[in-house]
Chain A
Amino acid sequence: MNEKTRSIDGDVLNEEITLTYRYSLGEVAGKFMAGLRDGKILATRCSKSGMVYLPPRSFCERSFEKCDSWVEAALEGVVEASTIVVRGFEGSRPPPVAIAFVRLDGVDSAIANYVEEIDLSDVEVAMQTIAVGARVRVKFIEKPTGSVTDFYFVPAS
């Protein structure tokens, strides 16, 4: 806690608290983030269950065995769920923004990210381009920093 301000305002006590965290990536997420810097999306695979996980896991939740190999995911896949966030969220980007969970080819699970290069002026029309089953492909930002938003999805066609 590096900052704390308090003030009484009528019948209310105001307090502002700022917290700082340092999250350890660990080996698996660390390797994934390093892969992004090389333009690769790396998944883990469990040879016992055959499951390929993205985000990558150290352990397979089906076989209860260690995921024992790394697989490079295809840079194209299918939308499994999506929405357009119109208002009410003070995230890193001002709304409207499109987000989707996409199952990349060769991977069993879906990973979330922004969908760009779609016209969001008509939300109804935009939703159809990212509906469940729509094909999208991965694009990388110009200078990847080793963060999940180094990549984003765009419509495949």
Chain B
Amino acid sequence: MVETVGVLGTYQSNFKTREVDKTFAEQAQGAALGVLDASNMNPDDVDAIVFSLAPTAFMGVADADRWCIDHIFGAGKPMMRVHTGGATGGSAVHAANSLVRSGIFRSVMIVGAERISETPDAQKVLNQIFDPFYEKEMPLQTITTVAMMANAYMQRHGVKQEDLAHLVVRQRRSAMNNPHAHLKGEITIDDVMASPMISYPLKLFDCCPRSSGSAAMIIGNMDMVRKHQSHPAFINGTGGVSDSNWIGDRIVPTAHADFIDWKLMRVAGAECFRRAGIDDPINQIQVAEVYDAFSIQGLTQLEQLGFCSSGTAFRLERENAWDVNGAVAVCPSGGTLCSNPIAVSGLVRAIEAANQVMGTAGGHQVANVHNAVATSVGGIAQFLNCTVFGNDYVRTN
């Protein structure tokens, strides 16, 4: 016996470089209050809390979930922290989903906050995730390793920097309709091409900003759905997978899952889609909120999720296939590329996908959404997860 799981409400703050009016714990509290309000619930209606918290070295207070217990009404309730790097928010949704689906709790709040700009040493923090003996002496961190993957992918499939720039232009434009987005505006391919080179081929505009903000979602069983949400989004599919820490094992002919083409997302996606009864994603899914901290990152996942064949997503980008009115609306919110509060970025992808299904996305709402997919990615793509939200409950397992 498994329980049906629906989204009761969501909340996200406006994302920006610095949050000067609140402490970290107060940011988390803002999200908790916001989601309770959106779900028409009191703290007593929430049975348990999953706290979405990535590396705390950015904001300086280690294990800050403890700092937030009272602020998010956690005292007296079961509470756990989930941490899988950039995939944290997606993993937090999966953990909460398991807690409700199993019948252990009626409702679970997923909540978190982030403030990356609390330190000017963010690059140094990101370098700390590398092996101290073999890797850390090199300038290896998320941008440079994704740049290496990008060079290999672009060489393999004949993709140009201008193709990546086309995506940046589209998503910054989409973000203009999203009041929560950090970076937004009308820019041109030339603007992207003229932005400073960081690590070849990635330029400044190919990279996400360092964002501060908070987010929350409450999910519940059918009893809670009946009480609190007339237009729920059901969590129909989840899939998650991890791979070796060794990048050098994942870009060679003997790789388990080739990192250059993001083959690991095929594994997570297949599991998720099987559960959600999705066998023809481009015709069954209307919105894809793929996790794209960099311009190269989202469309490669789209290929592995089966929206198009390997190596073709950037050609389709140039043909506007991923526009709001295209074959599938890809990151109509602007995506992680326009706002990256790391600890909750995966949660924001899930919130955006759920909102699109519930019809509450606001200015960037896509018409007639029945199914939406959200992904998130952590580490150097060591942690990948995928979630499908639908307006009809699907039970395939």
Using a CB–CB cutoff of 8 Å, the interface residues on chain A facing chain B are 11, 15, 17, 21, 23, 25, 29, 32-33, 51, 53-55, 61, 80-93, 95, 97, 99-101, 103, 108-114, 123, 127, 131-132, 147-149
B139 adjacent to A91 (CB under 8 Å): yes
Question: How many A-B contacts at CB < 8 Å in the complex?
Answer: 127
Chain B residues whose C-beta falls within 8 Å of the C-beta of A103 in the assembled complex: 248, 252
Q: List 13 A-B contacts (CB under 8 A).
A: A33-B133, A80-B152, A84-B200, A85-B139, A85-B198, A86-B199, A86-B200, A87-B198, A108-B252, A112-B135, A123-B200, A127-B201, A131-B155
Closest approach, in angstroms, between the C-beta of B137 and any C-beta of chain A?
5
Chain A residues whose C-beta falls within 8 Å of the C-beta of B135 in the assembled complex: 112, 148
Question: Contacts A33-B133, A90-B124, A109-B248: A132 and B199 contacting too (C-beta < 8 A)?
Answer: no
Closest approach, in angstroms, between the C-beta of A36 and any C-beta of chain B?
11
CB nearest neighbor in A for B259: A81
Beyond the given pairs A91-B137, A101-B248, 5 more chain A to chain B contacts, judged by CB atoms under 8 angstroms and listed by A's residue number, are A83-B144, A86-B198, A86-B200, A88-B123, A101-B148
Chain A residues whose C-beta falls within 8 Å of the C-beta of B247 in the assembled complex: 81, 101, 110, 112
Interface centre among A81, A95, A109 (most CB of B within 10 A): A81
Q: Is B67 an interface residue (CB 8 A)?
A: no
B252 adjacent to A148 (CB under 8 Å): no
A109 adjacent to B246 (CB under 8 Å): yes
Closest approach, in angstroms, between the C-beta of B382 and any C-beta of chain A?
13
B134 adjacent to A112 (CB under 8 Å): yes
Chain B residues whose C-beta falls within 8 Å of the C-beta of A123 in the assembled complex: 197, 200
Complex Cα gap A89–B140 (Å): 9
Interface members, chain B 128-146 (any A CB < 8 Å): 131-135, 137-141, 143-144
Using a CB–CB cutoff of 8 Å, the interface residues on chain B facing chain A are 20, 60, 123-124, 127, 131-135, 137-141, 143-144, 147-149, 151-152, 155-156, 196-201, 244, 246-249, 251-252, 254, 260
Question: Contacts A55-B131, A109-B254: A92 and B148 contacting too (C-beta < 8 A)?
Answer: no
A55 adjacent to B246 (CB under 8 Å): yes
Chain A residues whose C-beta falls within 8 Å of the C-beta of B152 in the assembled complex: 80-81, 132
A85 adjacent to B252 (CB under 8 Å): no
A112 adjacent to B124 (CB under 8 Å): no
CB nearest neighbor in B for A99: B138
Chain B residues whose C-beta falls within 8 Å of the C-beta of A11 in the assembled complex: 20
CB nearest neighbor in B for A103: B252
CB nearest neighbor in B for A127: B200
| Option from A25, A93, A99, A109 in Cβ contact (under 8 Å) with B252 | A109
B155 adjacent to A88 (CB under 8 Å): no
| Option from A51, A84, A114 in Cβ contact (under 8 Å) with B199 | A84
A89 adjacent to B155 (CB under 8 Å): no
Question: Contacts A85-B139, A99-B138: A80 and B133 contacting too (C-beta < 8 A)?
Answer: no
